[in-house]
Amino acid sequence: MTGVAQRLEGMRVCIVAGSGGVGKTTASAALALGLAASGQRVAVVTIDPARRLAQSLGLQELGNDPRQVDPALLASHGVRMRGELWAMMLDPKATFDDLIARLSPDERTREDVLGNRIYQQLSGAVAGSQEFTAVAKLYDLHRDGGFDMLVLDTPPSRNALDFLDAPDRLTDFFEGRAIKVLLVPTGIAARVMSRGTAVVFSILKRLTGVDLMDDIAVFFGSLGGLMDGFKERAAGVKALLADPATTFLIVTSPEREPVAEAIFFRGKLREAGMAFGGLIVNRVNVAGDDEPEAIAAELRAAGLGARLAEKVAASAADLRLLAARDAASIERLKAELDEPDPIVVARLDGAVQDIDGLLALRDALM
């Protein structure tokens, strides 16, 4: 088995994808910790992770800038830190606001956009905006952060596709060519504004009772000033996703639904022509070779009561079923993802929510 470190050689950005509940956040943190310990300056970017994990790294709150994890804290757990570990918990809304603020040419534009109903809705809820924010942050850190490696723990998006589509989708929306034509009330645009689109507006207003005209006019009007900056940013984000030094790791558990999601996502990566850096199969059950009956007999011989010996045998039988299921999942993943050598991490004893847990996971990964 090739460890994660070798697979990531020469990479500068690692995006960790997978469905919710498979240990993506802890895998990202463990990976970053391992790379940092071996001498790199690493930042791990995560969105609303397990609070206890964050706290165990000394991070108390959401923020828009990475903070260094105290080397003394890590040293107290026996980590010889040769590089630096930085971590941040991304607040998508604040990051988006921050982006708008920086791209705004003046105070007034900034206030107009940030206070706009359409913007508030868009930045908080439109599919892809959280994903976009995450990659936009990554882009900033990549350009200005001076890190050797960035690890992005992707948002808990049901549809991993949102992640790859986000820059295009948001550029489309922000450009809103069709809408912009409608909104310029004077000049040629007013004359070419088709009757059809006017009908669209009036029907929407009649149906919804919401008159979005004002909001939309203000939104796109103010946005005009920062459109170029935004487009440039989106193009940069897209280029970063396709950069040869950017790679995607897929994390899954051996359960049915996450496996299906991993296969689906691998297909999407292939279609988008993006790099696949490897597969991590997490929380894999490992059973012994002994038959449950043999175990029961052995334990009875060792003086354990028959009832208790049977219970241990039953637990071994369950574990064998789980291990067989997991082995089948791994074979399926190997074939479907075209990945002969996945990184298999055995189910650890206990939930990973502190530094010791992360270290155990790091050892398994690397």
Q: Are strands 13-17 and 67-68 parallel, antiparallel or unpaired?
A: unpaired
358 burial type by CB count under 10 A (0-12 exposed, 13-18 middle, 19+ buried): buried
Which residues of this protein are in contact with another protein, per CB under 8 A? 19-22, 50, 52, 117-118, 120-122, 125-126, 156, 158-159, 173, 176, 178-179, 182, 196-197, 200-201, 203-210, 212, 216, 253, 256-258, 260, 264, 287-288, 290, 295, 298-299, 302, 304-305, 308, 311-316, 318-319, 321-322, 325, 349-351, 353
**Minimum distance between the CB of residue 118 and another protein, rounded to whole angstroms?**
5
CB closer to another protein out of 101 and 122: 122
CB closer to another protein out of 51 and 82: 51
Q: Distance between CA 115 and CA 293 in Å, rounded?
A: 69
CB closer to another protein out of 203 and 239: 203
**Minimum distance between the CB of residue 208 and another protein, rounded to whole angstroms?**
5
CB closer to another protein out of 5 and 304: 304
Per the rule left: phi > 0, alpha: psi between -120 and 50, beta: everything else, 156 is beta
**Minimum distance between the CB of residue 339 and another protein, rounded to whole angstroms?**
22
**Minimum distance between the CB of residue 111 and another protein, rounded to whole angstroms?**
20
CB closer to another protein out of 37 and 279: 279
**Cα-Cα-Cα-Cα dihedral of 9, 54, 154, 346, to 10°?**
70
CB closer to another protein out of 12 and 268: 268
Q: Distance between CA 63 and CA 242 in Å, rounded?
A: 27
Distance of CA 135 to the CA centre of its chain: 9
Q: Distance between CA 324 and CA 267 in Å, rounded?
A: 26
What beta strand segments (E) does the chain contain?
Answer: 13-17, 41-47, 67-68, 84-90, 149-153, 246-252, 276-284, 343-346
Name which of 319, 321, 298, 322 is nearest 310 in CA terms.
Answer: 298
**Minimum distance between the CB of residue 277 and another protein, rounded to whole angstroms?**
23
**Minimum distance between the CB of residue 77 and another protein, rounded to whole angstroms?**
21
